[in-house]
Amino acid sequence: MEGYELVGKVGDFRDSIVRVVDVGGTDVAVVSYKDRFHAFSGHCTHENYSFNYTRVKPGDVIICSSHIAVFELAGGKFVGGQPADDLPQYDVRVEGDDVYVSKEVTSNK
């Protein structure tokens, strides 16, 4: 699939647990949550801390465990904690059992 990279199988992703994967040389966080895949920067925009194995928290947010910056899962908007930029977002496509992530940022809301 042009412009996308295969990052794994649907079953490779445990619900609500973020996995950071390499997409074209960039760390991208991928998470399956409530039957939908999301992809965003693999590192917090506050201090570049990795989101690997971070869990989606109540309120559908991602919290950086290093300095407690809080981001909306859908859209990556910074909503609290240590000041940070919004998380760049990547498109995710599922074809059969394969999960693909766009190689380019699709939104920086």
C-alpha of 56 from chain center: 10
- Asked if residue 109 has pLDDT above 60, the reply is no
The per-residue pLDDT for range 96-105, each reduced to its tens digit, is 999 999 999 9
The per-residue pLDDT for range 14-71, each reduced to its tens digit, is 999 999 999 999 999 999 999 999 999 999 999 999 999 999 999 999 999 888 999 9
Domain 4-102 classification at class level: mainly beta
Per-residue DSSP letters for 60-93? TEEE-TTT--EEETTT--EEESS--PPPPEE-EE
- Asked if residue 107 has pLDDT above 70, the reply is yes
Q: What is the pTM of this model?
A: 0.95
What is the per-residue pLDDT for 108?
67
Q: Where are the domains of the chain?
A: 4-102
The amino acid occupying position 95 is E
